[in-house]
C-alpha cells in the first residue's frame, strides 16, 4: 500500500517496458571481441542489472555476466555518522581489466553514489570503458556525471525523494516521488533516499 505523500511515477508495466527498451539499446553497445559486463550498485541497481541481462538474453541471445558493487567504504560521507557502516560486499566474478563495463543504478541524483562506484570498480582493474545506465534520472547533480542511458527522466524539487521499488527487494515494482513533510529536513543519502 502506498504511503501518504507518495506520488506514483511508474507502475510495474511501465517499468517492464523501460527495461525492455534499455536492454535493446544495451545490446547495440556490445562490441565484438570485447568482454561486456553489467555491474549493479547495491541494492536495487543489482536487481535492475540482473533484469537487463535476462532481457538481453531473451531478446538478443546475449549472455552478459552481472556483478554487484558495494560503495559503502567509498562514500564521501563515511565517518560523518556515529553508526558503523553495514557492508554488503562487492561480488564481481569476472575480470574488469579490458572489459566494457556498464554501471547500473536505480536513481541518479547528485552523482556521489556513481563516483564512489567508479572508484570501487577501478580498484579492481582498468576497464576498456565504463558507461552509466539508470532507471531514473532526477537531476540536481553535484558532480559532472551523466547517464548515457536513462530509462526515465523526471523533474523534481531538490528536497523531494524518488523511490524505486523492485521485487524481490520490495513487494511491488513501482517508482514514486515522495514530497518531504512540511518542516522536515532535506538531508538525503547519496542515492537520493531519505536518511533514516
Q: List pLDDT tens digits, range 86-139.
A: 556 799 999 999 999 999 999 999 999 999 999 999 999 999 999 999 999 999
Better-scored residue on pLDDT, 60 or 194: 60
Q: Rounded distance, CA 184 to CA 191, Å?
A: 18
Q: Which ranges of 74-194 does DSSP label H, i.e. alpha helix?
A: 112-122
pLDDT for position 2 = 56
List of residues 6+ apart from 44 with CB closer than 8 A: 105, 106, 164, 166, 169
- Quickly state the pLDDT bin for 194 (edges 50, 70, 90): very low
- pLDDT: which is higher, 83 or 98: 98
Per-residue model confidence (pLDDT) at position 18: 98
With beta carbons less than 8 A apart as the criterion, state whether 127 and 98 touch: yes
Q: What is the pTM of this model?
A: 0.86
Query: In the numeric block, which cell numbers belong to residue 77?
Result: 560521507
Name the nearest CA neighbour of 169 among 42, 74, 70, 64.
Answer: 42
Give percent of the chain with pLDDT exceeding 90. 77
Q: CA–CA separation, 159 vs 185, rounded Å?
A: 8
Q: Can you spell out the DSSP letters for 41-81?
A: ETTHHHHHHHHHHHHHHHHH-----EEEE--GGG-TTTTSS
Q: What is the mean pLDDT of residues 14-20?
A: 98
Q: Which domains does the chain have, with CATH numbers?
A: 13-157 (3.40.50.2020)
Amino acid at each position: 500500500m502506498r504511503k501518504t505523500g507518495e506520488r506514483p511515477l511508474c507502475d510495474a508495466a511501465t517499468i517492464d517496458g523501460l527495461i525492455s527498451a534499455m536492454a535493446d539499446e544495451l545490446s547495440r553497445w556490445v562490441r565484438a571481441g570485447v568482454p561486456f559486463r553489467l555491474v549493479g550498485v547495491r541494492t536495487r541497481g543489482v536487481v535492475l542489472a540482473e533484469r537487463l541481462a535476462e532481457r538481453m538474453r531473451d531478446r538478443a541471445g546475449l549472455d552478459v555476466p552481472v556483478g554487484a558493487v558495494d560503495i559503502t567504504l567509498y562514500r564521501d560521507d563515511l565517518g560523518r555518522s556515529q553508526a558503523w557502516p553495514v557492508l554488503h560486499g562487492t561480488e564481481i566474478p569476472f575480470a574488469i581489466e579490458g572489459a566494457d563495463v556498464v554501471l547500473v543504478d536505480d536513481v541518479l541524483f547528485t552523482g556521489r553514489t556513481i563516483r564512489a562506484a567508479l572508484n570501487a570498480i577501478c580498484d579492481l582493474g582498468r576497464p576498456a570503458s565504463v558507461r552509466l545506465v539508470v532507471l531514473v534520472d532526477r537531476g540536481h547533480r553535484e558532480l559532472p556525471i551523466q547517464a548515457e542511458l536513462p530509462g526515465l527522466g523526471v523533474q523534481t524539487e531538490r528536497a523531494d525523494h524518488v523511490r524505486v521499488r523492485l521485487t524481490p527487494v520490495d513487494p511491488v515494482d513501482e517508482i514514486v516521488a515522495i514530497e518531504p513533510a512540511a518542516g522536515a529536513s532535506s538531508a538525503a543519502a547519496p542515492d537520493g533516499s531519505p536518511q533514516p
